Structure 1
Amino acid sequence: MRLPVILVPLAFALAACATGATAPPPTAANPPPSPAVSTAPAASAEGLLPKIPQPPERPVAPPSVTDPAIPLPQRIDAFVDYTAQAYGVDPQAIRAALAQAEYKQSIIDAISRPAEKVRPWRDYRPIFMNDARIAGGKAFYADNRVALDRITASTGVPAQYIVAIIGVETSYGKITGNYRVLDALYTLAFWHPKRAPFFAGELAQLFALAKEEPQLDVLALKGSYAGAMGMGQFMPSSYRNWAKDGDGDGRRDLLDHKPDVFASIANYFVVHGWQRGGPVVARATRGAQAADFAPEGLDPVYPLPMLAARGYAPQPGEPTAEGATLLSLDGEAGKEYWLGYGNFYVITRYNHSPMYALAVHQLAQAIGGNGAP
């Protein structure tokens, strides 16, 4: 999905925990008319590092469910059969819930409207890097320090990054969405053909989730217009795959139960490759003769010597790692160059926008008292 990442935190909800959902790339609004952009070699090219292993892609619904040429009643029948067979859910329970699902034009409008524009970094950064958001994060961390630090000790994911994710996604739990998750996924599964396979897959996962977590009422769950829910805005498949019971009470409640929320966000990072104690980013310098360089993806597959040969190197005193990707952003004082390391890539698995990941990093640094480089 391409959502307008320039709006409110809830605009990140789908990509936040649905790795197939992609936010608009932060391309420069007015790139300088300098050397031609060189295209990065494929990840398999000689000299590049291996990509960070990732979990399998989440399953999508079959064409019998998502082909808009098929009449809606037949697609719903196919969906019931698919969900019942794939996840062992009672077909009558699925039908009963779908009978109460409502189509919402406002959801189609929200997900279909083109972004007015993709804001450059200089405009995007202040949405999250401001006094209120930083103060709120510090207060949230102070109020929950024992639980957060316990998760950090067990997973290696710094507490301030968990807090920053919650701050960016839902303003520390204040804005978690007012749409029924059932309505959101039902609407997008059957009236949004472009992404119907994904959303119908998530609708099926919602029923599977309710079977596994019976405390969740499918008819009452509220979330974003894309179907993400809770303080960390998990999609149903992310909830099923990576949610954790953080306090041993026998259930995984990501709506507002903080022990589970903290453990689950940390686990999301871990399963996507977080390295304990590893660096996230480094400011980079660009050599005077360096050509523009636009990597094909965010994978940190470029050895630092290879990037240095292209004219891009960490600034003095910045952290280093074996491999990185290069970010070129339009900052307040002009072009900014950043090297994104493995842990930066992991943050982009929560939301595929590199500006989102950099905002999370800088907010985390400010919450942790390390400034905002």
Structure 2
Amino acid sequence: MHVLRRWTARHAGWLAALGLMAGAPQAVAGDYENSPEVAAFIGEMTNGYGFAGEQLSSLFAQVERKQTILDAISRPAEKVKPWKDYRPIFITDARIARGVVFWQQNAEALARAEKEYGVAAQVIVAIIGVETFYGGNTGNYRVIDALSTLGFDYPPRAPFFRQQLKEFLLLAREQQADPLTLKGSYAGAMGLPQFMPSSFRAYAVDFDGDGRINIWSNPTDAIGSVASYFKQHGWTAGGQVVSRAQVRGEQVDQGLTVGIEPVKTVGELRTLGWSSHDALRAEMPVTAFRFDGADGPEYWMGLSNFYAITRYNRSAMYAMAVHQLSELLLQARGAE
């Protein structure tokens, strides 16, 4: 994929995208060429961040409003699946097998990420496996179309997506990337780890040292970037992720966490009928949750590393899927 060029020959990609190079094809009028909101946004980017207004106007003349994106984000949310139905979506033989291959192909980068950031290799592989099936499904929308469509035509979350559009233009300038070629999901999430632009700018790293950050087609940079994200969100090297709980009594459900913040301690849960075979300190804060499993209710305590996974996606089921996939990947790799 033609991303992340250097200036000189590097400037060429950016300028060509804006239609400013000699011989460049004339920009085709887009859906945002005469939008007052886009004009105001361009003014903000020129006054606050030093962009050239004429260049941004040329860029937005080529941006397209995508009705399919608006349809996707406006679709009524699916009824939340119970764990017994959610787990089989991500815990599959195919995802485990492909994860082992990905691990083999990127063993050096994963070992180095584990050493430098303290994040277990299997967790990094599991994140990329859950997010994009190891790069097999990274999204086919132009990121600038996705973020513009949602930033200017989806009022419920327009401020968020305009901020992401701002971050995207900044990262394209910083990375000397062609903003019209970078692809992602309908919400603008990018590359193997599906980083939003703000996460890219905050956590993505040039892990192979080639002077560019490419999370789209460079697994080494994607691996380092996931490890960087987790390290900066409190991952503890070698730390436990969850503890299966045994429960009894009528106060058990009073211990369940609302949301994913670890607001109760192990000691408080013990007074409500929770226990565990793991040696957990009474003062340890945990996220307490119950899943409807295939064999009945499952009670769990999520520890600090579990909370770190939920910072990637604020869902206890997502975090558990990542954790259990990581454990199965480790077992499968060890069984080779």
TM-score by shorter chain over 0.5: yes
2:92 matched residue in structure 1: 130
Matching residue's letter, 2:58: A
Query: Compared with structure 1, are the counterparts of its residues 243 and 127 closer, same or farther at alpha carbon in structure 2 (3 Å cutoff)?
Result: same
**Aligned twin of 2:54:** 92
Q: Describe the superposition over 1:143-164 as per-residue Cα deviations: whole angstroms up to 9, x where unpaired.
A: 2111101110111000001000
Q: 1:186 corresponds to which residue?
A: 148
Q: Which runs of 5+ in 1 are unaligned?
A: 1-71
Which of 205, 208, 216 is the aligned partner of 1:247?
208
Once the two structures are overlaid, the 10-residue window that deviates more, 292-301 or 239-248, is: 292-301
Residues in 2 aligned to 1:84 and 1:312: alpha-carbon distance in whole angstroms: 57
For the 8 Å contact 1:89–1:207, the answer to whether it is kept is no
Aligned residue for 2:172, secondary structure, equals: helix
Q: What's the counterpart of residue 277 of structure 1?
A: 238
CA contact (8 A) 2:96 2:332 kept: no
- The alpha carbon displacement at 1:117 in A equals 1.4
Listed one character per residue, the Cα deviations across residues 17-63 of structure 1 (whole Å, up to 9, x for unaligned) are: xxxxxxxxxxxxxxxxxxxxxxxxxxxxxxxxxxxxxxxxxxxxxxx
1:164 to 126, 130, 154: 126
Q: Is the 8 Å Cα contact of residues 100 and 332 (structure 2) preserved in structure 1?
A: no
Instruction: Give distance in 2, aligned partners of 1:85 and 1:362.
Output: 48
Please, what is the CA RMSD of the aligned residues? 1.6
For residues 307-318 of structure 1, what are the structure 2 equivalents within 5 Å?
307-314=269-276, 316=277, 318=278
Moved over 3 A (4+): 318-321
Distance 1:243 1:336 in 2: 36
User: In 2, are the aligned partners of 1:89 and 1:208 still within 8 Å (CA)?
Assistant: no
Does the alignment pair 1:330 with 2:317?
A: no
- Count of aligned residue pairs for this structure pair: 297
> What SS does structure 2 have at the residue aligned with 1:329?
strand
TM-score, normalised to structure 1, is: 0.77
The offset of 1:319, in angstroms, is: 6.0
Higher relative contact order at CA 8 Å, sep ≥6: structure 1 or structure 2?
Answer: 1
Residue 196 (structure 1) shift: 0.3
Question: CA separation in 2, counterparts of 1:295 and 1:83?
Answer: 42
Does structure 2 conserve the Cα–Cα contact (< 8 Å) formed by 1:253 and 1:261? Answer: yes
Aligned-partner Cα distance in 2 for 1:226–1:244: 22
Larger gyration radius, structure 1 or structure 2: 2
Residue 201 of structure 1, aligned match among 155, 160, 163: 163
Q: Equivalents in 2 of 1:307, 1:88: separation in Å?
A: 54
Contact 1:282 1:319 in 2 (8 A): no
Q: Which residue of 2 aligns with 1:363?
A: 325
Alignment of 1:1-373 (within 5 A): 73-214=35-176, 216-293=177-254, 294-314=256-276, 316=277, 318=278, 320=280, 322-369=284-331
| Matched-pair contact (CA < 8 Å) for 2:241–2:303 | yes
| 1:151-185 C-alpha deviation (Å, 9 max, x unpaired) | 10111000001000110000010111011111101
Amino acid of the structure 2 residue aligned with 1:220: T
- Indicate how the Cα distance of structure 1 residues 142 and 303 shifts in structure 2: closer, same or farther if over 3 A, else same: same
Q: Deviations over 1:332-356 (max 9, x none)?
A: 0111111011111111111111111
Q: Structure 1 residue 92: deviation in Å?
A: 2.3
- 3-state DSSP class of the match of 1:350? coil
CA gap of 1:274–1:134, structure 2 versus 1, over 3 A, is same
Q: Which amino acid counterpart does residue 320 of structure 1 have in structure 2?
A: L
Question: Where does the alignment leave 5 or more consecutive residues of structure 2 unmatched?
Answer: 1-33
Structure 2 CA distance, aligned partners of 1:360 and 1:160? 9
Identical columns (%): 49
* Correspondence for 2:26: none
Letter aligned with residue 245 of structure 1: D
What secondary structure is seen at the aligned counterpart in 2 of 1:265? helix
